[in-house]
């Protein structure tokens, strides 16, 4: 005989399986589900277990009953579209940054296996990818064991730089392998760029909001951040930037031109070109971060600002952390006219990036494995971002706003005005969920009612976590 607890598990398990099929499009919105009798026969479950599962899915808003017709996948989200957040309006004065305590707390969350990870922008690392990379690493250690133990002094492994230069053509860029320097992830590339062009106290213009890793590096270097209004769809405001340049001695500008973290914004080509031309007129270097440029949901890889650079002022950086593996710690920088300075800094501060991961990534790119992998994850991330957006719209209250990224895997969510995201973060931790509160994306504590969510590994547990978060937001919104 089935015990009550295993019976509970059976219907939950079945509803999870059905929810997964719905999310992955086996049953698209509006589609009829198998009847209760069919589902019971197909799955060897009792009628009452199927009924219980269907009624759970109904309560979750995933399906709806049509009298005398059956159960259908819900189309409800389509008529309840949350608006996008508006262009940000940061303070007009440059500011020093002090965010490291909160950022370190968030970092520690990422290694806590008990939490649903909606905070850090971790990619979804699946076994299909890891098996491929592990096989490549095993082959390299068998075939060229000794070479893999040598330094790869700046600019780094030539075979990898050749591959990166070839791919840059898709982003509209003619790069030679000698234009590229291999780094230890995107973080080191940002660090080297800022180090090469700024000294403590200088002002750097950044987007608002900005990726908190960038803010941390500005904090370490004692640089002042000048936050520029930024639109969640097409990026930094050039009018506001021009005004800022006319009124402040700006030493460098930093943008994430494609699929900004956290906004998901994508600067159109004309805007990229206009930005490069504006900075060229003022002789200001542009540090362009393109770590998610390859994770596009549309037909074509977007271009980079670097494609319009004729003066060597654009320092283009990227990393294989979002699309292959953050643990391999490989990124790169095309530093334009600052190349010799950057190479010297790289050699002095870290000598070389690890050789084996450079070899493995070069081989993955050369063999075509990367292209195949990217075709798959672009599809997966597009679907997961959509599912996460649908879940937020289903469970969060009116007054919420939401971005519409066309690449990457993060969502930027504006909560009702009176909801403090740090309070939500504390509540969420108690409920075994971590998220990124808006505070860490600004030098001046803007975005107190925003959160960033990671949709990369969206699954049933994520959906449930979003449901619980939605309840918490409703509670906080109603309290004050």
| Interface contacts to ligand PLP, rule CB under 6 A | 121, 185-187, 211, 213, 256, 261, 289, 291, 319, 321, 326, 331
In the chain, the largest separation of any two C-alpha atoms, in whole Å, equals 80
Report the C-alpha gap between 366 and 159 in whole angstroms.
Answer: 9
Report the C-alpha gap between 169 and 77 in whole angstroms.
Answer: 39
Taking the least distance from each CB to ligand PLP, the nearer of 184 and 237 is 184
Taking the least distance from each CB to ligand PLP, the nearer of 108 and 430 is 108
Given the DSSP bridges, would you call strands 410-414 and 401-402 parallel, antiparallel or unpaired? antiparallel
Minimum CB separation from ligand PLP for residue 332, in Å?
Answer: 10
**Which uninterrupted H or E stretch holds 113?**
none
Minimum CB separation from ligand PLP for residue 184, in Å?
Answer: 7
> Could you give the C-alpha distances from 93 to 209, 226, 369, in angstroms and in order?
15, 6, 47
By three-state DSSP, how is residue 351 classified?
Answer: coil
Taking the least distance from each CB to ligand PLP, the nearer of 185 and 407 is 185
What b-and-e string marks burial along 312-340, b requiring 16 or more CB atoms within 10 Å of the CB? bbbbbbbbbbbbbbbebbbbbbbbbebbe
From the list 210, 282, 233, the residue with the least C-alpha distance to 407 is 233
Taking the least distance from each CB to ligand PLP, the nearer of 185 and 357 is 185
Taking the least distance from each CB to ligand PLP, the nearer of 108 and 480 is 108
From the list 297, 211, 227, the residue with the least C-alpha distance to 261 is 211
**Which uninterrupted H or E stretch holds 173?**
none
Q: What is the DSSP letter of 444?
A: T
Minimum CB separation from ligand PLP for residue 331, in Å?
Answer: 5
Report the C-alpha gap between 456 and 459 in whole angstroms.
Answer: 9
Minimum CB separation from ligand PLP for residue 130, in Å?
Answer: 17
Taking the least distance from each CB to ligand PLP, the nearer of 70 and 326 is 326
Minimum CB separation from ligand PLP for residue 212, in Å?
Answer: 9
Report the C-alpha gap between 141 and 149 in whole angstroms.
Answer: 10
> Could you give the C-alpha distances from 474 to 77, 186, 399, 400, 478, in angstroms and in order?
18, 37, 10, 10, 6
Minimum CB separation from ligand PLP for residue 427, in Å?
Answer: 24
Taking the least distance from each CB to ligand PLP, the nearer of 74 and 210 is 210
Taking the least distance from each CB to ligand PLP, the nearer of 14 and 211 is 211
Minimum CB separation from ligand PLP for residue 20, in Å?
Answer: 27
DSSP 86-107: ------SS-B----HHHHHHHH
Minimum CB separation from ligand PLP for residue 38, in Å?
Answer: 45
Taking the least distance from each CB to ligand PLP, the nearer of 261 and 389 is 261
Given the DSSP bridges, would you call strands 250-255 and 286-289 parallel, antiparallel or unpaired? parallel
Minimum CB separation from ligand PLP for residue 114, in Å?
Answer: 22
Report the C-alpha gap between 105 and 99 in whole angstroms.
Answer: 10
Minimum CB separation from ligand PLP for residue 105, in Å?
Answer: 16
Q: Which residue is nearest to ligand PLP (CB)?
A: 185
Taking the least distance from each CB to ligand PLP, the nearer of 45 and 361 is 361
Contact indicator for 372, 379 with CB cutoff of 8 Å: no
**Strand partners for 225:** 95, 204
Report the C-alpha gap between 265 and 404 in whole angstroms.
Answer: 8
Taking the least distance from each CB to ligand PLP, the nearer of 377 and 393 is 377
Minimum CB separation from ligand PLP for residue 324, in Å?
Answer: 10
Taking the least distance from each CB to ligand PLP, the nearer of 63 and 215 is 215
Report the C-alpha gap between 44 and 34 in whole angstroms.
Answer: 14
From the list 391, 437, 430, the residue with the least C-alpha distance to 412 is 437
Minimum CB separation from ligand PLP for residue 15, in Å?
Answer: 34
∠ CA 304-133-460, nearest 5°, is 80
């Amino acid at each position: 005989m089935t015990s009550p607890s295993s019976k509970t598990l059976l219907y939950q398990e079945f509803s999870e399986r059905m929810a997964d099929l719905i999310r992955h499009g086996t049953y698209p919105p509006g589609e009829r589900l198998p009847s209760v009798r069919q589902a019971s026969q197909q799955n060897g479950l009792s009628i009452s277990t199927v009924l219980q599962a269907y009624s759970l899915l109904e309560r979750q808003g995933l399906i709806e009953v049509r009298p005398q017709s059956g159960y259908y996948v819900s189309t409800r989200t389509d008529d309840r579209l949350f608006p996008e957040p508006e262009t940000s309006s940061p303070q007009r004065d440059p500011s020093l940054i002090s965010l490291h305590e909160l950022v370190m707390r968030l970092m520690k969350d990422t290694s806590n296996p008990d939490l649903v990870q909606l905070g850090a922008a971790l990619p979804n690392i699946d076994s299909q990818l890891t098996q491929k990379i592990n096989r490549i690493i095993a082959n390299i250690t068998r075939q060229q064991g000794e070479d893999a133990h040598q330094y790869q002094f700046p600019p780094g492994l030539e075979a990898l730089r050749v591959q990166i230069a070839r791919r840059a053509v898709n982003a509209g860029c003619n790069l030679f392998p000698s234009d590229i320097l291999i780094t230890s992830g995107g973080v080191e590339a940002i660090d080297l760029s800022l180090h090469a062009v700024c000294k403590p106290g200088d002002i750097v213009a950044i987007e608002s909001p900005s990726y908190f890793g960038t803010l941390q590096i500005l904090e370490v270097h004692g640089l002042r951040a000048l936050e520029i209004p930024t639109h969640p769809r097409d990026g930094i405001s050039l009018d506001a930037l021009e005004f800022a340049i006319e009124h402040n001695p700006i030493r460098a500008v930093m943008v994430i031109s494609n699929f900004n973290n956290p906004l998901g914004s994508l600067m159109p080509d004309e805007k990229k070109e206009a930005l490069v031309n504006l900075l060229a007129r003022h002789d200001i270097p542009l540090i362009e971060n393109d770590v998610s440029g390859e994770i596009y949901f549309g037909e074509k890889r977007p271009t980079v600002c670097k494609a319009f650079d004729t003066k060597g002022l654009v320092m283009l950086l990227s990393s294989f952390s979002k699309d292959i593996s953050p643990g391999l710690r490989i990124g790169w920088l095309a530093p334009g006219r600052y190349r010799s300075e950057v190479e010297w800094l790289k050699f002095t501060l870290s000598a070389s990036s690890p050789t084996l991961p450079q070899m493995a990534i070069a081989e993955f790119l050369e063999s075509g494995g990367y292209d195949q992998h990217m075709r798959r994850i672009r599809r997966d991330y597009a679907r997961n971002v959509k599912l996460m957006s649908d879940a937020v719209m289903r469970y969060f209250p009116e007054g919420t706003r939401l971005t519409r990224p066309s690449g990457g895997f993060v969502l930027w969510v504006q909560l009702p005005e009176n909801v403090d995201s740090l309070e939500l973060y504390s509540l969420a931790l108690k409920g075994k969920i971590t998220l990124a509160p808006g505070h860490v994306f600004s030098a001046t504590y803007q975005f107190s009612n925003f959160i960033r969510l990671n949709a990369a590994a969206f699954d049933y547990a994520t959906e449930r976590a979003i449901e619980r978060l939605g309840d918490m937001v409703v509670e906080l919104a109603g309290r004050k």
